[in-house]
Structure 1
């Protein structure tokens, strides 16, 4: 059995509406924007990246498979790379964008979660708020 790619990686799922550029983030039922498990308690943004990290496309493909999507339904978002220090190691955080014109609202019950706006994320842990800020900046340029 292959190792779980999400042990040392997380993925933030977003939808950016191509016409209006409205950005929504997927909030999992765990209360985290990090898929597919929350960051460990006490996690903090790393001052510098670690060693070898998975290619974002590999993680995005694994995320699509976990969600039961075609691999073309998610795309790695270039320009975003983050590393979090947690539990004596590092976790790479990737950004994946839903490619459909509209967010897949009909799938959220099956996935366990919902789409939120940046302004709805205030209750998230500080490290996740920083990840969202960094992701938002990468998305809007």
Structure 2
């Protein structure tokens, strides 16, 4: 369901996305809990051109200084999962 929505909204090729099922993170909001999903690209290079029209950018980790702590914690969890082969 989430993968299909990403494909429709951003025009990604289905074979280029894989859902990281081991990433189970949630955030709170005033309305309801929000599930955070992690998808990985199977291509060597990130699809920068596909995200630019939607205001998305890819940043190296070295450029993440000053990012809000909540986002850095999510990034750390995603990095740990990917590096552990999960």
Counterpart among 107, 110, 121 of residue 50 in structure 2? 107
Are 1:96 and 2:39 an aligned pair? yes
What is the CA distance between 1:88 and its match in structure 2?
Answer: 4.4
- Where relative contact order (Cα < 8 A, 6+ residues apart) is larger, the structure is 1
Are 1:67 and 2:10 an aligned pair? yes
* 2:72 aligned partner: 129
Rounded to whole Å, the distance in 2 between the matches of 1:75 and 1:90 is: 24
Q: Which runs of 4+ in 1 moved over 4 A?
A: none
Aligned length: 84
TM-score of the superposition, structure 1-length normalised?
0.53
**Aligned-residue CA RMSD (Å):** 1.6
For structure 1, list consecutive stretches of 5 or more residues without a partner in the other structure.
1-57
Q: Whose strand proportion is higher, 1 or 2? A: 1
TM-score of the superposition, structure 2-length normalised?
0.81
Rounded to whole Å, the distance in 1 between the matches of 2:7 and 2:60 is: 22
